[in-house]
Amino acid sequence: MTPSDALALVLAAIAGLLLGAIFFGGLYLTVRKGVSSGSPALWFFGSLVVRMGIAMAGFYFVSDGSWQRLVACLLGFVVARLAVTWLTRPAAQQASPAPGGRHAP
């Protein structure tokens, strides 16, 4: 693997992070706005179309026919999902659970 190949994979992973942040951040904003809207179906469907369009176009252009870049972009996308999920949890849930785990009283 040449240094330019490694750089391309790192850039693909960074692009995946950005695509994931846009996709899952947009989902978070859609849920917040959609549940209080008078027409939530329009919010959810419109958001789905826009988010999927951005993600699919991003994956297409980032991969440029290379399965390695596609995998790196997908890994970045998954990491962004984990990050957005962790960042958007309520503050009470962000603390780590007790050593014994959570059990019903």
Residue boundaries of the structural domains of the chain? 3-89
Predicted TM-score of the model (pTM): 0.80
Give the C-alpha distances (Å, rounded to integers) separating 78 from 11, 16, 55, 62, 81.
15, 8, 12, 15, 5
pLDDT tens digit sequence for 59-101: 999 998 999 999 999 999 999 999 999 988 887 665 555 566 6
The kind and range of the H/E element at 16 are helix 3-34
Q: Report the number of secondary-structure helices (H) and strands (E) in the chain.
A: 4, 0
Q: Percent of the chain having pLDDT more than 70?
A: 87
Q: What is the 8-class DSSP label of residue 68?
A: H
Question: Which pLDDT does position 94 carry in this prediction?
Answer: 59
